[in-house]
Structure 1
Amino acid sequence: MSNHPQPHATERFVKDGVVVSRDAYVVRGTDRGLTVGMSAFETLRTYAGRLFRLGEHLARLEGSVNTLGLPWPGAAVVTADLETAAAGLAPELGVRILITPETRLVHASPLDLSLVEKPLRVATRVWEPAPWLDGRVKHGSRAPSEVARQRAEVDEVFWVGRDGVMTEATRSSIFAVIDGRLVTPPDDGRILPGVTRSALIDTARELGLEVIERGISPREAMNELYASSTLKELSPVVELDGNPAPGGGPVGRRLLLAFRALVVRECSG
């Protein structure tokens, strides 16, 4: 084991600040992060070798860790783990950190570029987060999301609240273009406020687009429909509950191009 990145690696595993082999990248069988899903995680992305909006990811991770009562090692320690994992690898990576009651794990690997702008098949399902665990917490208990997606045989599930409006997706935030306006569900405690979601909202406002944060009915007339996340950026939804969905269009294309210009500004130099 070493705390120095290996040369010529394509992926890297870091456990508690130390570079380890895949075989050593494990948690103990007694770790409650494994046994009951008591863990917090973040998925980050690098552009041109730099972690995008690291500060926002750290703030969200710290909030999740504190809500779950997990040990928070501090932003400096987590940043060092992330940078160690990503150092010297491909310029565009997916970097995931997991914090459990007993350990910190970071995995960096080449980004699957097929996810970016991939047309998505989506199904809706009724679900709301438990009132005792805020939707802003990015916890590791993801079995309901995975089972829903697998059973529906789709790329994503869009959750619908008891009020009949879509809130978020199993792995993404939701955006729609309705009458020329960019509409996205509000940060009302039911959603995980995505880092990419925030960047897209900022970008849209810079473009002069009107952004409305409100619930969206799956039966509402939409001109364009998207899912956004760190790894997929802004992907068009082409099928919703087995029916054709509007997919992408000119507003989303303009927004995505401006978002990528924002990325260049923030990650270059």
Structure 2
Amino acid sequence: MKTQSKIWMNGKLVPYNNAKVHVLTHALHYSTAIFEGIRCYNTPKGPMIFRLPEHVERLFKSARMYSMKMPYNKNEISQGIINTVKASKLKECYIRPLAYYGHGVMGLTPTPNKVEVAIACWEWNAGESSAGKTRGARCKVSSWLRIDSRSQPMQAKAASNYANAALARVEALRDGYDEAIMLNYHGKVSEGSAENIFIVNNGKISTPPLNAGILDGITRDSVIKIARSEGLEVIERDIDREDLYVADEVFMTGTAAEVKSVTEIDNVPVGNGKPGEITRKLQDTFFEVSRGKDERYLDWFTPVA
């Protein structure tokens, strides 16, 4: 990350090294924070932010679920995101808006504390999300269950949800896999540690429904819309663990991962053990769409300039 870049904090762009919070910030102790992950792509029309209104809308929905009174409206946050990307001078980047309960009263109850907002962006390095783009990811079904809405709101993109996901990711990496697949309390497939999941059988695509304890992923929604526009059938239904082992194809979606193939689960090859035809088609199409090369989806972009 370039330390000469700037970070938007509570309405002002501040130097990277000055973007600091107090050690007694409530969110640091009790995980009372929400966030978004957004991508800016370098398109033929210049840097463009992918599905910005949908990300900002989800951020505000997350805030409502956590009783956060956002100190800025949606337009102000959207403009803050654009200004942060402009200040970075990056043509492509990952963008992280974050709202959190700040320093003030210590104790479990967060609401007496001020809600603070920060926006950062950095040059995207595929890193841990890259497995599966070419060779296909090796996954394991995690021993950690995905928490569900009986415990906390899973439709919120909240920092606390990702403590559960991090346990699954670390376990998978420690055991020699690329990624984890999590089941919910009913034993149904939920999602990866940071991605939604899809299976393909006989040319039909299935994905877990929102009530399976998944995040309503914006890349998930994009891929569903793209698939249907390409004449592919997409069904939202409960998926059993056994369905993973007999699927013709499995793939995952997410802001970081985009569309990545899964070619092995619990040491069982998926299909022929190679990225499948439908997965490759959706990978290629999403690549074109997200880089602004498909005119059908240009309304998904917000220009930075």
- Superposition TM-score, scaled by structure 1 size: 0.89
2:193 maps to 1:170: yes
Greater alpha carbon shift after TM alignment, 107-116 vs 87-96: 107-116
Partner of 1:21: 15
Query: Could you tell me how far apart the structure 2 residues matched to 1:9 and 1:143 are?
Result: 27
2:288 maps to 1:261: yes
Out of 123, 132, 147, the residue aligned to residue 167 of structure 2 is 147
Partner of 2:96: 96
Query: Could you tell me how far apart the structure 2 residues matched to 1:193 and 1:69 are?
Result: 20
Query: Could you tell me how far apart the structure 2 residues matched to 1:10 and 1:236 are?
Result: 36
2:199/2:247 contact within 8 Å kept: yes
The amino acid that maps onto 1:253 is R
2:37/2:95 contact within 8 Å kept: yes
2:87 maps to 1:68: no
Partner of 1:34: 28
Partner of 1:133: 152
Structure 1: 5+ residue stretches without partners: 1-7
Shift of 1:11: 4.3
TM-align CA RMSD: 2.2
Query: Could you tell me how far apart the structure 2 residues matched to 1:189 and 1:134 are?
Result: 12
Q: How many residues align?
A: 262
2:41 maps to 1:47: yes
The amino acid that maps onto 2:203 is G
The amino acid that maps onto 1:223 is D
2:139/2:264 contact within 8 Å kept: yes
Identity of aligned residues (%): 24
1:14/1:20 contact within 8 Å kept: yes
The amino acid that maps onto 1:65 is A
Partner of 1:224: 249
1:9/1:89 contact within 8 Å kept: no
Deviation string 1:178-214 (CA, Å, 9 cap, x unpaired) is: 1111111111261101000000000011011010111
1:56/1:195 contact within 8 Å kept: yes
Query: Could you tell me how far apart the structure 2 residues matched to 1:226 and 1:253 are?
Result: 10
Greater alpha carbon shift after TM alignment, 150-159 vs 200-209: 150-159
Q: Structure 1 residues 11, 189: closer, same or farther in 2, change over 3 A?
A: farther
Query: Could you tell me how far apart the structure 1 residues matched to 2:181 and 2:204 are?
Result: 20
2:37/2:255 contact within 8 Å kept: yes
2:26/2:101 contact within 8 Å kept: yes
Deviation string 1:62-103 (CA, Å, 9 cap, x unpaired) is: 000111011222111211221121115222210011100232
Shift of 1:152: 2.7
Q: Structure 1 residues 137, 268: closer, same or farther in 2, change over 3 A?
A: closer
Deviation string 1:140-169 (CA, Å, 9 cap, x unpaired) is: 112221122112324322111233221111
Structure 2: 5+ residue stretches without partners: 103-115
Q: Structure 1 residues 58, 9: closer, same or farther in 2, change over 3 A?
A: same
Shift of 1:9: 7.7
